[in-house]
Chains A and B, each alone.
Chain A
């Protein structure tokens, strides 16, 4: 099984930083020194022992908002990724196994969606629909599902022609068994690596939407929204906008390091216990 000694140093860095972010996100109400929406000091106070990261454009404690922001950002990104994976991989596998016109129809439909730039598509949809967390997750999840569909279908098409799948078909197994018991376990490794990358894209996507004002709505705020709130300060040399931006970057890099490691461990069909 997994040997702790064999994990490379880069993966360790990724794992530890990701774990810190997750811890902050999950235990936000207990970790944060101040309530999220309360004005506690002056506008844009510098870093001090009292306010570790200073205060924001309304005088709220930036560290507390960062921690709550982590919660919102990671929650929405994780839910959107989960949705896109469940939808994308099930449809992708089904398209590969069933084939024929169903495959053609779904693949061409996905091509159609992918031809429209995601951000513009999302902006149009979100400006029409009520902006709340559920809509955000749905829109992001559905748009990302097209990418997952492509990968899942490509991997499954390769596995679908293997003799063991033919053996299962000759045995008379149904499609559900073939998809979930024969193909899924063998497609899992590339999909898990892709999961990490798609999660990062979801974080970046959400941040971009919030920065443009169509993502998470005040008084709640994710990291992208916090960059937006504090961006005026940059002109005056105040780093409040850079801190959430840096958090986005660090999260992206650390999850990427973990995904890289998983992808490197095995991408082939060697199987066994790996």
Chain B
């Protein structure tokens, strides 16, 4: 399995999209490219499990290493473990769905698809890089298209939102860059993740560099209180933009926090874990309560993303294998779920031309398919068993509870409380939008088209597969999480 394919295929797709003659061609090229990514990621998963089943215990599989700038020790070093595979799978699912829901974009179609594919390229590159410099490079590739996506194809106060999002994420990446350079200079000039993980970085350095990296990546994952780009960014972004933003970009942060910050600096991870736990517990509850008062569907999902992403950081902060496994599962689950949520919101908006909850009602009657998907995604969000959210959250709870101190207990209970608040805001939204008496001007709306249906079905399938048979995801992620945790535990 050649990991370079993960970069080459999106690259070829993006180029082909640019060279295409008309909108129809762009759509089909992008769709074909996205499907190729999906197939590729599934093949990668199969190859990975086969390799592991064959007894290959190496930390990273399918490694490739090319010298890029030998003078600065920058290598194009690629490799994957279970966590990366999980994120790659997530990305490929979201990309296909994102391409499908954007089918009717008429304004600058070519450029739109080009940026979408470029974004996915950045995400793949990020997830497979084992060299911090290359990783950072791909992180930036994943940020910049978003500015354009919102600024050009967005709605509402899009310039403000695009600026805010880009500045905050760029600020985050600046911290990351400083952190990476700090690691580079304090470790004897290495960007290589695997070799960095083998040397012990001085605790003084860790104490300074860890917060830089964690906060820097944390901005992507909406760490409290640097989460405010989320509501504004999402509310202005076009549907696919929101899907990519919440489904993929926010996961870059969680992955970075885990793979770079916590993994390379175990002592600092211990020292700062309490702060992480406090911030993430706040984000979980506070985000949930703030969601309760939102009236705009996109704001509802944006704030609930803050709450749900809090679980990712909580799982990482708890520093147990189970909790970290849960955190990764939550990334996958939330990625699929929130992408679907935004897709559905987009579909509803396209028809009703409003996102205000109070201006809708009884859509179940006219749009049974869309409303059913809305139900499913809502139920996933509130953690219904059989859907992915439940699996991830319960794994985090079980893992958190392994810490016996009162502090950890209280934080866990606080996080558990969010399941009630989530139920409140989700049912409010569902009850108002899908149920209740139908609004007069909405009685003639049409249900989903084929592309929307396909997009929804792909994401729903992902949610249900994880929800009903979570074992495979657990088996995929847990060994990788165990390696990270063993290092942090000093074993």
Are the chains A and B members of one assembly? no
Residues of chain B having any CB pair with chain A under 8 Å: none
Residues of chain A having any CB pair with chain B under 8 Å: none
